[in-house]
Homo-oligomer: A and B are copies of this chain.
Amino acid sequence: MTNNTTSKTAQLAAFASALRFEDIPEPVVRKIEDLLVDWFGSAVAGHGSRPVESITRFAQAMGAGEGPSEVIINRARTTPYLAAMANAAASHVAEQDDVHNGSVFHPATVVFPPAVAVAQALGASGQQLLAASVVGYEVGIRVGEFLGRSHYRVFHTTGTAGTLAAAAAVGHLLGLNAQQMQHALGSAGTQSAGLWEFLRTAADSKQLHTAHAAAAGLMSAYLAKDGFTGAAEILEGPQGMAVGMSSDADPSRLVDGLGTRWATAETSFKYHASCRHTHPAADALLHVMQTNGLKLDDLAQVVTHVHQGAIDVLGPVVQPTTVHQSKFSMGTVLALVAQHGHAGLTEFDRDFLSQQTQALRDKVSMVLDAEVDGAYPKRWIGKVTVTTTDGRVLHGRVDEPKGDPGNTLSRQEITDKALRLAAFSGGATPEAMRQSVDALWQVATWPKVGALLS
């Protein structure tokens, strides 16, 4: 065993092991609370979704009928492993969970489900849950940044980096020391998986990716606690993740500002209920329409100026046939925004294939833009060129889409969003959801993490 204690992976593991709640700056604590409540809404939103219910049925059939951890979509109880699996499947399906721009990684759906399930199993405090969640965010985001754009072209970073994020969060709750944490990351990285191929046929894999990441990451941490060892250099080693799954990995990102730069605080909330790659252009279109007083019928053509990642992910979706697929259709998203001023779950469900939506959808195109592509993924600039039916050519631009740190959601907006998500799915009554959200805002004072829905 020749763990190199000064390697970047070792440094990342040491940070993940050692972070104390008291070390986390106050604004970052407030931010992780915001992210937790925002996530909770997305988890409840998974209720009734076919792929989510399917994974949940499997998890419950293969586990114990009881246990310390909560299955959020149906309030059953099971073991933390299977609860994490079910809740992670639930949290990503509404496409309303958070995103970190620089890593193109959705932390909440792979960090909170295992962290909450294990906190419930251990009777950990709210502060312990928050600290472990920050660890998951800091590790997962840095792994995503490390793996880079070449990775994201083929792999769903939330699934791949998410496995390590889940392991780090759970490992922190289990009190892993630095070496055990490095083993947990090794076991997580060697189970890291998730390919974008499913987009082409609108398959259900996105829910499987988050379920897999949460469950495999949790397992890695439990195994490490039990003495099970993993590769020391799973990220940077000559047969590790970077060599196998990336061609532009940047090791410096793994430890970039550890303990001083808080990646957690850089995380964005989603405002539109669609793939994040559509948001900058959607907000830019809104800006043009509001500034110029345009209505839907005024739009003859919309050219969106985008980064390559948007073309890679959204390009294959030309004529979406399911609601979920339509959230990856730039044309559909812009058509909904043009009609309603925003593209929420209700708008998608009702109008994703309406005649008006389809008409504008087919007038929207994407072109690669050097400025947007150069700024990405650190900044997600939105640029559109609109040609109106009376022949004007108008340009719209936003530098930070709604939900980004410089254009964030208030606690009231986060609460309202969570209530809307619960109402949409029927996963909780308005009263129960209100009560749970109110309680969850006080999580830092909880002596023990219990059920989130009573």
Structural contact, B79 and A63, CB atoms closer than 8 A: yes
Structural contact, A187 and B216, CB atoms closer than 8 A: no
Structural contact, B203 and A183, CB atoms closer than 8 A: yes
Write the nearest CB–CB distance from A279 to chain B, whole angstroms. 22
Q: Which of B2, B58, B223 contacts A219 (CB 8 A)?
A: B58
Check: A266 CB closer than 8 A to any chain B CB.
no
Write the nearest CB–CB distance from A77 to chain B, whole angstroms. 13
Write the nearest CB–CB distance from A258 to chain B, whole angstroms. 22
Q: For residue A51, which residues in chain B have a CB less than 8 angstroms away from its CB?
A: 228-229
Write the nearest CB–CB distance from A27 to chain B, whole angstroms. 36
Copies of the protein in its oligomer: 2
Write the nearest CB–CB distance from A156 to chain B, whole angstroms. 8
Known: A231-B201, A244-B154. A195 touches B239 (CB 8 A): yes
Write the nearest CB–CB distance from A81 to chain B, whole angstroms. 4
Q: For residue A234, which residues in chain B have a CB less than 8 angstroms away from its CB?
A: 195, 197-198
Structural contact, B195 and A193, CB atoms closer than 8 A: no
Check: A190 CB closer than 8 A to any chain B CB.
yes
The interface centre, meaning the residue of A64, A203, A245 with most chain B CB atoms within 10 A of its CB, is A203
Structural contact, B58 and A222, CB atoms closer than 8 A: yes
Write the nearest CB–CB distance from A164 to chain B, whole angstroms. 12
Binds B, one of A102-110, A122-130, A204-212, A357-365: A204-212
State A195–B193 Cα separation when bound (angstroms).
Answer: 11
Write the nearest CB–CB distance from A325 to chain B, whole angstroms. 10
Structural contact, A198 and B219, CB atoms closer than 8 A: no
Check: A435 CB closer than 8 A to any chain B CB.
no
Structural contact, B195 and A54, CB atoms closer than 8 A: no
Q: For residue A239, which residues in chain B have a CB less than 8 angstroms away from its CB?
A: 153-154, 195-197, 199-200
Q: For residue A162, which residues in chain B have a CB less than 8 angstroms away from its CB?
A: none
Write the nearest CB–CB distance from A86 to chain B, whole angstroms. 12
Check: A24 CB closer than 8 A to any chain B CB.
no
Structural contact, A191 and B193, CB atoms closer than 8 A: yes
Q: What 1/0 mask marks residues of chain A from 220 to 245 whose CB sits below 8 Å from any chain B CB? A: 00110011111111100111110111
Structural contact, A190 and B186, CB atoms closer than 8 A: no
The interface centre, meaning the residue of A208, A232, A234 with most chain B CB atoms within 10 A of its CB, is A208
Q: For residue A82, which residues in chain B have a CB less than 8 angstroms away from its CB?
A: 62
Q: Which residue of B lies closest to A230 (CB)?
A: B203
State A191–B159 Cα separation when bound (angstroms).
Answer: 9
Interface size on A, residues (CB 8 A): 67
Q: Which of B195, B229, B321 contacts A240 (CB 8 A)?
A: B195
Q: For residue A237, which residues in chain B have a CB less than 8 angstroms away from its CB?
A: 197, 200
Q: Which residue of B lies closest to A228 (CB)?
A: B54
Structural contact, B203 and A231, CB atoms closer than 8 A: yes
State A226–B201 Cα separation when bound (angstroms).
Answer: 18
State A54–B229 Cα separation when bound (angstroms).
Answer: 10
Structural contact, A232 and B203, CB atoms closer than 8 A: yes
Q: Which residue of B lies closest to A67 (CB)?
A: B62
Structural contact, A229 and B212, CB atoms closer than 8 A: no
Q: For residue A54, which residues in chain B have a CB less than 8 angstroms away from its CB?
A: 223, 226-228
Check: A65 CB closer than 8 A to any chain B CB.
yes
Structural contact, A205 and B226, CB atoms closer than 8 A: no
Structural contact, B204 and A195, CB atoms closer than 8 A: no
State A238–B159 Cα separation when bound (angstroms).
Answer: 18
Q: What 1/0 mask marks residues of chain A from 423 to 438 whose CB sits below 8 Å from any chain B CB? A: 0000000000000000
State A276–B373 Cα separation when bound (angstroms).
Answer: 48
Shortest Cβ-Cβ A-B pairs, 8 listed: A62-B81, A196-B239, A197-B231, A154-B244, A198-B231, A197-B240, A203-B229, A193-B193
CB-defined A-B contacts under 8 Å, sample of 13: A2-B200, A62-B219, A155-B244, A183-B203, A189-B195, A190-B205, A193-B193, A195-B231, A195-B240, A201-B232, A203-B229, A204-B230, A208-B230
Further contacts, 10 of them, CB under 8 A, given A155-B244, A192-B193, A205-B229? A61-B222, A186-B198, A191-B193, A196-B239, A197-B241, A199-B239, A200-B232, A201-B229, A203-B231, A204-B230
A residues near B (Cβ < 8 Å) are: 1-3, 50-51, 54-55, 57-58, 61-65, 79-82, 153-155, 159, 183, 186-187, 189-205, 208-209, 212, 216, 219, 222-223, 226-234, 237-241, 243-245, 321
